Amino acid sequence: MTILVLGGTGKTGRRVADRLTALDLPVRIGSRPLFDWQDRSTWPTALDGVTAVYLSYYPDLAFPGAYDDIKAFTELAVSTGVRRLVLLSGRGEPEAQASERTVQESGAEWTVVRCSWFMQNFSEGFLLEQAQEGVIALPAADVPEPFVDVEDIADVAAAALSQEGHAGKLYELTGPRLLTFAEVASELSEAAGRTISFVPVTPEEYVAGATAQGVPREEADAFAALFTGILDGRNAHVVDGVRQALGRPARDFAEYAAANAAAWQA
Protein backbone atom coordinates (compact mmCIF):
# COMPACT_ATOMS: atom_id res chain seq x y z
CA MET A 1 0.00 0.00 0.00
CA THR A 2 1.69 3.19 -1.19
CA ILE A 3 0.48 6.25 0.70
CA LEU A 4 0.66 9.71 -0.85
CA VAL A 5 1.08 12.42 1.79
CA LEU A 6 0.11 15.78 0.32
CA GLY A 7 1.79 18.71 1.98
CA GLY A 8 4.40 16.20 3.08
CA THR A 9 6.88 18.89 4.10
CA GLY A 10 4.32 20.98 6.02
CA LYS A 11 3.33 21.06 9.68
CA THR A 12 0.98 18.09 9.60
CA GLY A 13 2.20 16.30 6.49
CA ARG A 14 5.79 15.75 7.54
CA ARG A 15 4.67 14.36 10.88
CA VAL A 16 2.20 12.02 9.21
CA ALA A 17 4.92 10.86 6.81
CA ASP A 18 7.35 10.24 9.68
CA ARG A 19 4.82 8.11 11.53
CA LEU A 20 3.99 6.04 8.46
CA THR A 21 7.68 5.58 7.63
CA ALA A 22 8.29 4.37 11.18
CA LEU A 23 5.67 1.69 10.49
CA ASP A 24 7.68 0.60 7.40
CA LEU A 25 4.88 1.68 5.07
CA PRO A 26 5.81 3.01 1.61
CA VAL A 27 5.28 6.77 1.60
CA ARG A 28 5.39 9.26 -1.26
CA ILE A 29 5.80 12.92 -0.33
CA GLY A 30 3.39 15.11 -2.27
CA SER A 31 5.05 18.50 -2.44
CA ARG A 32 6.65 20.62 -5.14
CA PRO A 33 7.91 19.78 -7.69
CA LEU A 34 6.34 16.30 -7.56
CA PHE A 35 2.91 17.68 -6.70
CA ASP A 36 1.47 21.17 -7.03
CA TRP A 37 -2.16 22.06 -6.33
CA GLN A 38 -1.86 24.84 -8.90
CA ASP A 39 -0.57 22.53 -11.65
CA ARG A 40 -2.96 19.67 -12.32
CA SER A 41 -0.54 18.09 -14.77
CA THR A 42 1.49 16.96 -11.72
CA TRP A 43 -1.40 15.02 -10.20
CA PRO A 44 -1.39 11.80 -12.29
CA THR A 45 2.31 11.10 -11.69
CA ALA A 46 1.97 11.72 -7.97
CA LEU A 47 -0.97 9.28 -7.84
CA ASP A 48 0.67 6.51 -9.88
CA GLY A 49 0.46 3.28 -7.86
CA VAL A 50 -1.03 5.02 -4.83
CA THR A 51 -3.76 3.33 -2.80
CA ALA A 52 -4.22 5.84 0.07
CA VAL A 53 -3.89 9.62 0.33
CA TYR A 54 -3.45 12.09 3.17
CA LEU A 55 -5.36 14.97 1.65
CA SER A 56 -4.30 18.39 2.92
CA TYR A 57 -4.83 21.57 0.94
CA TYR A 58 -2.61 24.64 0.88
CA PRO A 59 -3.19 27.32 1.93
CA ASP A 60 -6.65 26.46 3.30
CA LEU A 61 -9.88 24.76 2.25
CA ALA A 62 -11.71 28.05 2.79
CA PHE A 63 -9.72 29.77 0.02
CA PRO A 64 -11.24 30.41 -3.43
CA GLY A 65 -10.72 27.48 -5.78
CA ALA A 66 -10.10 24.92 -3.05
CA TYR A 67 -13.38 23.08 -3.51
CA ASP A 68 -12.88 22.71 -7.26
CA ASP A 69 -9.36 21.37 -6.71
CA ILE A 70 -10.47 18.89 -4.06
CA LYS A 71 -13.32 17.65 -6.23
CA ALA A 72 -11.12 17.20 -9.31
CA PHE A 73 -8.31 15.56 -7.34
CA THR A 74 -10.64 13.21 -5.48
CA GLU A 75 -12.29 12.06 -8.71
CA LEU A 76 -8.90 11.46 -10.32
CA ALA A 77 -7.56 9.64 -7.25
CA VAL A 78 -10.48 7.21 -7.08
CA SER A 79 -10.36 6.59 -10.83
CA THR A 80 -6.68 5.63 -10.58
CA GLY A 81 -7.14 3.14 -7.75
CA VAL A 82 -6.98 5.08 -4.50
CA ARG A 83 -9.09 3.23 -1.94
CA ARG A 84 -8.58 5.32 1.19
CA LEU A 85 -8.74 9.10 1.68
CA VAL A 86 -7.98 10.99 4.89
CA LEU A 87 -8.92 14.66 4.62
CA LEU A 88 -7.51 17.39 6.86
CA SER A 89 -10.38 19.84 7.27
CA GLY A 90 -11.07 23.09 9.08
CA ARG A 91 -13.42 23.45 12.00
CA GLY A 92 -16.18 26.01 11.58
CA GLU A 93 -15.47 26.54 7.86
CA PRO A 94 -18.50 26.00 5.58
CA GLU A 95 -16.23 25.90 2.53
CA ALA A 96 -14.18 23.14 4.11
CA GLN A 97 -17.29 21.15 4.87
CA ALA A 98 -18.26 21.28 1.18
CA SER A 99 -14.94 19.57 0.42
CA GLU A 100 -15.66 17.05 3.16
CA ARG A 101 -18.85 16.04 1.38
CA THR A 102 -16.95 15.53 -1.86
CA VAL A 103 -14.59 13.10 -0.15
CA GLN A 104 -17.42 11.38 1.70
CA GLU A 105 -19.28 10.81 -1.57
CA SER A 106 -16.21 9.66 -3.52
CA GLY A 107 -16.76 5.93 -3.19
CA ALA A 108 -13.44 5.46 -1.35
CA GLU A 109 -13.01 4.67 2.33
CA TRP A 110 -12.85 8.09 3.94
CA THR A 111 -11.91 9.69 7.22
CA VAL A 112 -12.28 13.40 7.94
CA VAL A 113 -9.95 14.99 10.48
CA ARG A 114 -11.58 18.34 11.26
CA CYS A 115 -9.32 20.61 13.28
CA SER A 116 -9.31 23.86 15.15
CA TRP A 117 -6.41 26.32 15.34
CA PHE A 118 -2.95 24.65 15.46
CA MET A 119 -0.79 25.27 18.51
CA GLN A 120 2.26 25.02 16.24
CA ASN A 121 1.24 28.20 14.39
CA PHE A 122 3.10 29.97 17.20
CA SER A 123 6.32 27.95 17.00
CA GLU A 124 6.81 26.99 13.36
CA GLY A 125 4.09 28.80 11.48
CA PHE A 126 3.15 32.28 10.42
CA LEU A 127 3.00 33.62 14.00
CA LEU A 128 6.48 32.49 15.04
CA GLU A 129 8.16 35.74 14.07
CA GLN A 130 5.53 37.80 15.86
CA ALA A 131 5.91 35.70 19.02
CA GLN A 132 9.69 36.04 18.86
CA GLU A 133 9.33 39.81 18.55
CA GLY A 134 7.01 39.84 21.57
CA VAL A 135 3.73 40.98 20.00
CA ILE A 136 1.08 38.74 18.42
CA ALA A 137 -1.26 40.88 16.31
CA LEU A 138 -4.37 39.32 14.77
CA PRO A 139 -7.89 40.42 13.76
CA ALA A 140 -9.40 38.29 16.51
CA ALA A 141 -12.14 39.06 18.98
CA ASP A 142 -11.79 38.33 22.68
CA VAL A 143 -13.17 34.83 22.30
CA PRO A 144 -11.56 31.53 23.33
CA GLU A 145 -10.26 28.89 20.94
CA PRO A 146 -9.59 25.18 21.68
CA PHE A 147 -6.06 25.10 20.20
CA VAL A 148 -5.02 21.63 19.03
CA ASP A 149 -1.54 20.10 18.97
CA VAL A 150 -0.36 19.09 15.50
CA GLU A 151 1.19 15.98 17.07
CA ASP A 152 -2.34 14.84 17.91
CA ILE A 153 -3.50 15.56 14.36
CA ALA A 154 -0.65 13.51 12.94
CA ASP A 155 -1.35 10.61 15.30
CA VAL A 156 -4.99 10.51 14.25
CA ALA A 157 -4.26 10.85 10.52
CA ALA A 158 -1.56 8.19 10.58
CA ALA A 159 -3.88 5.81 12.40
CA ALA A 160 -6.65 6.42 9.87
CA LEU A 161 -4.26 5.79 6.99
CA SER A 162 -2.63 2.66 8.39
CA GLN A 163 -5.26 0.93 10.52
CA GLU A 164 -8.72 -0.49 10.13
CA GLY A 165 -11.68 0.89 12.04
CA HIS A 166 -11.49 4.55 11.03
CA ALA A 167 -13.37 4.44 7.73
CA GLY A 168 -16.51 6.57 7.66
CA LYS A 169 -15.47 8.53 10.75
CA LEU A 170 -15.42 12.29 11.18
CA TYR A 171 -13.01 13.16 13.99
CA GLU A 172 -13.32 16.72 15.25
CA LEU A 173 -10.09 17.54 17.07
CA THR A 174 -9.49 20.18 19.72
CA GLY A 175 -7.25 20.64 22.69
CA PRO A 176 -8.65 19.94 26.18
CA ARG A 177 -9.38 23.57 27.13
CA LEU A 178 -10.28 26.97 25.75
CA LEU A 179 -7.81 29.86 25.62
CA THR A 180 -8.14 33.41 24.35
CA PHE A 181 -5.19 34.80 22.39
CA ALA A 182 -4.34 36.97 25.40
CA GLU A 183 -4.19 33.82 27.54
CA VAL A 184 -2.05 32.13 24.90
CA ALA A 185 0.37 35.05 25.03
CA SER A 186 0.50 34.71 28.81
CA GLU A 187 1.29 31.00 28.62
CA LEU A 188 3.95 31.56 25.97
CA SER A 189 5.45 34.28 28.19
CA GLU A 190 5.59 31.93 31.16
CA ALA A 191 7.24 29.19 29.12
CA ALA A 192 9.75 31.51 27.46
CA GLY A 193 10.58 33.59 30.53
CA ARG A 194 9.88 36.85 28.70
CA THR A 195 6.86 39.01 27.93
CA ILE A 196 4.80 38.17 24.85
CA SER A 197 1.64 40.20 24.34
CA PHE A 198 -1.46 39.90 22.20
CA VAL A 199 -2.77 42.97 20.37
CA PRO A 200 -6.07 42.81 18.47
CA VAL A 201 -5.95 44.62 15.14
CA THR A 202 -8.45 45.41 12.41
CA PRO A 203 -8.47 43.27 9.25
CA GLU A 204 -7.05 46.24 7.36
CA GLU A 205 -4.18 46.60 9.83
CA TYR A 206 -3.47 42.89 9.60
CA VAL A 207 -3.37 42.98 5.79
CA ALA A 208 -1.07 46.00 5.81
CA GLY A 209 1.32 44.28 8.22
CA ALA A 210 1.28 40.99 6.31
CA THR A 211 1.92 42.59 2.93
CA ALA A 212 4.74 44.64 4.43
CA GLN A 213 6.36 41.32 5.37
CA GLY A 214 6.06 40.04 1.81
CA VAL A 215 2.76 38.14 1.90
CA PRO A 216 0.90 38.54 -1.42
CA ARG A 217 -2.07 40.90 -1.09
CA GLU A 218 -4.61 38.33 -2.27
CA GLU A 219 -3.37 35.79 0.29
CA ALA A 220 -3.30 38.37 3.09
CA ASP A 221 -6.89 39.42 2.30
CA ALA A 222 -8.03 35.80 2.31
CA PHE A 223 -6.39 35.07 5.65
CA ALA A 224 -7.88 38.23 7.18
CA ALA A 225 -11.34 37.17 6.02
CA LEU A 226 -10.79 33.65 7.34
CA PHE A 227 -9.61 34.84 10.75
CA THR A 228 -12.42 37.31 11.25
CA GLY A 229 -14.87 34.61 10.21
CA ILE A 230 -13.81 31.65 12.33
CA LEU A 231 -12.52 33.66 15.30
CA ASP A 232 -16.00 34.84 16.22
CA GLY A 233 -16.76 32.28 18.92
CA ARG A 234 -18.20 29.58 16.66
CA ASN A 235 -15.47 27.14 17.75
CA ALA A 236 -15.48 28.08 21.44
CA HIS A 237 -16.12 24.58 22.76
CA VAL A 238 -13.99 21.50 23.18
CA VAL A 239 -14.76 18.04 21.83
CA ASP A 240 -13.17 14.64 22.37
CA GLY A 241 -12.20 13.59 18.85
CA VAL A 242 -8.65 12.73 19.89
CA ARG A 243 -9.95 10.31 22.51
CA GLN A 244 -12.47 8.86 20.06
CA ALA A 245 -9.73 8.12 17.54
CA LEU A 246 -6.85 7.17 19.80
CA GLY A 247 -8.28 6.30 23.21
CA ARG A 248 -6.26 8.98 25.01
CA PRO A 249 -6.77 12.64 25.90
CA ALA A 250 -5.63 15.52 23.72
CA ARG A 251 -2.39 17.29 24.61
CA ASP A 252 -2.68 20.51 26.59
CA PHE A 253 -1.35 23.88 25.49
CA ALA A 254 0.88 24.12 28.57
CA GLU A 255 2.61 20.89 27.56
CA TYR A 256 3.14 22.23 24.06
CA ALA A 257 4.46 25.59 25.34
CA ALA A 258 6.94 23.94 27.71
CA ALA A 259 8.24 21.65 24.95
CA ASN A 260 8.74 24.55 22.53
CA ALA A 261 9.90 27.29 24.91
CA ALA A 262 13.24 27.69 23.13
CA ALA A 263 11.43 28.97 20.03
CA TRP A 264 10.40 32.18 21.83
CA GLN A 265 13.37 32.80 24.09
CA ALA A 266 15.55 35.80 23.30
The whole-angstrom separation of Cα 61 and Cα 96 is 5
Residue 1 has pLDDT above 90, yes or no: no
pLDDT tier at 65, thresholds 50, 70, 90: very high
> Hey, CA dihedral for 27, 29, 30, 35, is it positive or negative?
negative
- The predicted pLDDT at position 228 comes to 87
What order do you get walking across the sheet with 2-6 strand by strand? 27-30, 2-6, 50-55, 84-90, 109-115, 169-173
d(CA 136, CA 142): 14
Is 40:71 a contact under the CB 8 Å cutoff?
no
pLDDT digits (tens, 9 = 90+) for 132-157: 999 999 998 889 999 999 999 999 99
Report the alpha-carbon distance of residue 68 to residue 183 in Å, rounded: 38
> How far is 28 from 36, CA to CA, in rounded Å?
14
In this prediction, residue 142 carries a pLDDT of: 87
pLDDT at site 213: 83
- Give the β-pairing of 84-90 and 50-55: parallel
What does the pLDDT look like over 5-15, one tens digit per residue?
999 999 999 99
Q: What pLDDT digit, counting tens, does each position of 93-110 carry?
A: 999 999 999 999 999 999
Q: Are 184 and 120 in contact (CB under 8 A)?
A: no
* Domains located in the chain, CATH noted: 2-116+149-173+237-250 (3.40.50.720)
Sign of the four-CA dihedral 184, 186, 190, 194: positive
List C-alpha distances in Å: 56 to 66, 70, 94, 112. Answer: 11, 9, 16, 11
**pTM to 2 decimals?**
0.95
Please report which confidence band the pLDDT of residue 177 belongs to, taking 50, 70 and 90 as the band edges.
very high
Which residues make Cβ contacts (< 8 Å) with residue 200, sequence separation at least 6? 137, 138, 139, 140, 141, 142, 181
- What is the average pLDDT score of the chain? 96
Query: Per-residue pLDDT tens for 13-29?
Result: 999 999 999 999 999 99
* pLDDT for 266 beyond 80: no
Please write the tens of the pLDDT for every residue from 229-262: 899 999 999 999 999 999 999 999 999 999 999 9
Under the banding of pLDDT at 50, 70 and 90, the label for residue 3 is: very high
Distance separating alpha carbons of residues 178 and 213, to the nearest angstrom: 30
Alpha-helical segments (H) within 80-216: 94-104, 128-133, 150-162, 181-192, 203-212
- Which helix (DSSP H) or strand (DSSP E) does residue 30 occupy? strand 27-30
